[in-house]
Amino acid sequence: MGEKEQEQAKVVVITGGTSGVGLAAARRFLAGGASVCIAGRDPVRGAAAVRELLKAVPGSMAHVYFRAADVRDIAACQALMQAAAERYGRLDVLVNSAGVYLEGALGTLTEQQFDDVIDVNLKGTVFACQAALPYLRQTKGCIVNVGSDAGVHGNYNCTAYCAAKGGVSLFTRALALETAHDGVRVNAIAPGDLLTPLTEKQLAAAPDRVAALKEMASVYPIGRIGTADEAAAAICYLASDDAGFVTGTILSIDGGLTA
């Protein structure tokens, strides 16, 4: 079987796959010949994402679909993995890209805000992995979690998000050790600011978008913020055979911010 045929045989599930990094990763996997299941909470956004992917990768209708799933629900995680495996016959890669962001001082943090940040970013990652592992053990597949620079170092007024993404970082390393003997690799990326719909929402709230973007970029040694596609490229590398000796790694995609 040639390299292209091997890639075509891969089946990828991407949580948070309807926008940002998850959607960019779906586009790259699909263009490489993989079959991709994108998951998210909103069926309308899911349908729009599938249309966008089909436009970007013509002729891929049989290889991409959306499934509504809320990663905060363990049963939904299990149903997602089962559905993808039944549709395509196997599961090779799980990308955990579902996430929410929150800023604010600890003194103003509510229990509901904390629960939401932890449930989506950390609980969702943990139990999506748990649900996928029986299938990934069969294929000696891999997991790529989407962490954050905030899971590597502290960010001002970002305690809950840092707690969640810090948990993702150490969970990734612990799970890599747990599954190494099964031939399942587990890695994560830790991106800094990326130009995604989430970032655009932050910039839109600023009085001057251009000035706000310039200020955001000023802390990065490389002189700019990143793109969703640059993060997606790192995900696809970690999921590829080229990274066959890489597990337990938190790969910084941050323009030198944490250097």
- In angstroms, the CA 82 to CA 132 distance is 8
Task: Please check whether residue 187 is in contact with residue 143, taking contact to mean a CB–CB distance below 8 angstroms.
Answer: yes
Q: Is 144 exposed, middle or buried (0-12, 13-18, 19+ CB in 10 A)?
A: buried
Active-site residue identified among 88, 161, 220, 237:
161
Identify residue 162 by its one-letter amino acid code.
Answer: C
- Long-range contacts of residues 29-33, Cβ cutoff 8 Å, at least 24 apart: 29/93, 29/236, 29/239, 30/56, 30/57, 30/60, 30/63, 30/64, 31/56, 31/57, 32/7, 32/236, 33/4, 33/7, 33/8, 33/63
Q: Which tens digit of pLDDT belongs to each residue from 156-179? A: 999 999 999 999 999 999 999 999
Tokens 């993702």 map to which residue? 168
Distance, in Å, from the CA atom of 13 to the CA atom of 98, rounded to the nearest integer, reads 12
Residues 52-64: what's their mean pLDDT?
Answer: 95
Averaged over 94-107, what is the pLDDT? 96
pLDDT of residue 6: 43
Task: Quote the pTM value.
Answer: 0.94
Helices of type H across 16-109: 20-31, 43-56, 74-88
pLDDT of residue 124: 98
Domains and CATH numbers, the chain: 3-193+231-251 (3.40.50.720)
pLDDT surpasses 60 at 252: yes
When the pLDDT of each residue in the chain is averaged and rounded to a whole number, the result is 95
CB–CB of 43/67 below 8 Å?
no
pLDDT at 1: 37
Higher-confidence residue of 197 and 41: namely 41
Say yes or no to pLDDT of 8 above 50: no
Smallest CA-to-CA distance from 26 within 47, 59, 53, 7 is with 53
- At 198 the pLDDT is 81
Looking at the predicted structure, is the pLDDT value of residue 184 above 70?
Answer: yes
Q: Look up residue 144 and give its amino acid.
A: V
Whether 65 sits among the annotated catalytic residues: the reply is: no
Helix (H) or strand (E) holding 177: helix 159-179
